[in-house]
């Protein structure tokens, strides 16, 4: 079998994050040559579920963040090549899943954005993976302007590797998986694990610091208030004053 499919949840929360990690772990341990990370038609992932953020206490949210961190690291450094297939929107932490993949294929109508800054948050957990794909300046710009990139803009920056028409997406995905399957599994594991041997893992250290930053931000009352008023009252966060 040349590939195995892992479905990305539409929204990430205390239940869907552990399930995603379990699915990715099982795929990494399986016999397939490549992992295809995909959403549903019209949507890859909207990222962290705001409703979950509001109802979850710190003790519940912390393990979810840690598990999502481990999911990103496993996608990036696990022993199987990962193909992210995007047909629609990818937001927030969903962009992190795209960035952690080895290759990303998107349809022409796909969009990519990180709206965290509108709510007083920082996409800290996503940035180390994003900065492996695109320049730090481009990563900052995407995070600061909170404006969605088109598929072509994402390709130009390096976030996306290929942009295809929706009718060609399945064929392009299968062809890419077959090419990955030709690589020796041992070589794939060594290439993806480069820099993580002998306890020397600068990416992990960066991501652990980012997870701590994200958790600290969620303790701020202004952040929760902005999210709450947006979810309940529909008040745009940029219209609020801290």
Mean pLDDT for the stretch of residues 157-161: 97
**DSSP secondary structure, 92-111, as one string:** THHHHHHHHSSEEEEETT-E
Mean pLDDT for the stretch of residues 80-104: 96
What does the pLDDT read at residue 131?
Answer: 93
Q: Which contacts of 153-156 are long-range, i.e. CB under 8 A and separated by 24 or more positions?
A: 154/106, 154/110, 154/112, 155/106
More confident residue, 28 or 200: 28
Which domains does the chain possess?
Answer: 3-192 (3.90.226.10)
Buried b (16+ CB within 10 A) or exposed e, 231-241: eeeeeebeeee
How far apart, in whole angstroms, are the C-alpha atoms of residue 115 and residue 37?
22
CB 143 within 8 A of CB 114: yes
Looking at the predicted structure, is the pLDDT value of residue 177 above 90? yes
Looking at the predicted structure, is the pLDDT value of residue 236 above 70? no
For 236, phi then psi, to 5°, come to -60, 130
What does the pLDDT read at residue 57?
Answer: 72
What does the pLDDT read at residue 232?
Answer: 72
Tokens standing for 4? 């195995």
What does the pLDDT read at residue 198?
Answer: 43
Give the pLDDT band (50/70/90) at residue 235: low
What does the pLDDT read at residue 17?
Answer: 97
What does the pLDDT read at residue 239?
Answer: 53
Mean pLDDT for the stretch of residues 197-217: 78
Of the listed ranges 28-37, 131-140, 201-210, the least confidently predicted one is 201-210
More confident residue, 58 or 54: 54
How far apart, in whole angstroms, are the C-alpha atoms of residue 66 and residue 51?
19
How far apart, in whole angstroms, are the C-alpha atoms of residue 242 and residue 225?
9
What does the pLDDT read at residue 204?
Answer: 86
Residues 217-231 pLDDT 10s: 888 888 878 887 777
Of the listed ranges 59-63, 142-146, 233-237, the least confidently predicted one is 233-237
Looking at the predicted structure, is the pLDDT value of residue 238 above 70? no
Mean of the per-residue pLDDT values of the chain? 89
Tokens standing for 139? 């990563």
Mean pLDDT for the stretch of residues 171-196: 86
Give the pLDDT band (50/70/90) at residue 195: low
């Amino acid at each position: 079998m040349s590939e195995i499919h892992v479905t990305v949840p539409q929204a990430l929360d205390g239940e869907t994050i552990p399930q995603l990690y379990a699915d990715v772990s099982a795929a990494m341990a399986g016999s397939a040559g490549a992992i295809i990370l995909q959403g549903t038609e019209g949507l890859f992932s909207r990222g962290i579920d705001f409703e979950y953020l509001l109802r979850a206490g710190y003790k519940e949210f912390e393990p979810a963040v840690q598990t999502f961190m481990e999911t990103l690291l496993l996608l990036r450094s696990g022993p199987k090549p990962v193909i992210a297939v995007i047909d629609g929107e990818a937001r927030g932490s969903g962009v992190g899943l795209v960035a952690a993949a080895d290759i990303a294929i998107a349809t022409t109508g796909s969009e990519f954005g990180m709206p965290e800054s509108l709510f007083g948050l920082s996409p800290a957990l996503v940035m180390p993976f994003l900065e492996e794909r695109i320049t730090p300046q481009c990563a900052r710009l995407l995070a600061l302007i909170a404006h969605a990139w088109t598929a072509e803009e994402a390709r130009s920056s390096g976030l996306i590797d290929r942009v295809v028409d929706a009718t060609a997406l399945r064929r392009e995905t299968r062809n890419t998986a077959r090419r990955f399957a030709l690589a020796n599994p041992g070589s794939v594991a060594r290439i993806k694990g480069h820099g993580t041997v002998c306890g020397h893992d600068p990416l992990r250290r960066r991501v652990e610091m980012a997870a701590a930053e994200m958790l600290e931000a969620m303790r701020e009352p202004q952040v929760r208030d902005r999210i709450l008023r947006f979810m309940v009252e529909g008040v745009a966060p940029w219209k609020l004053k801290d």
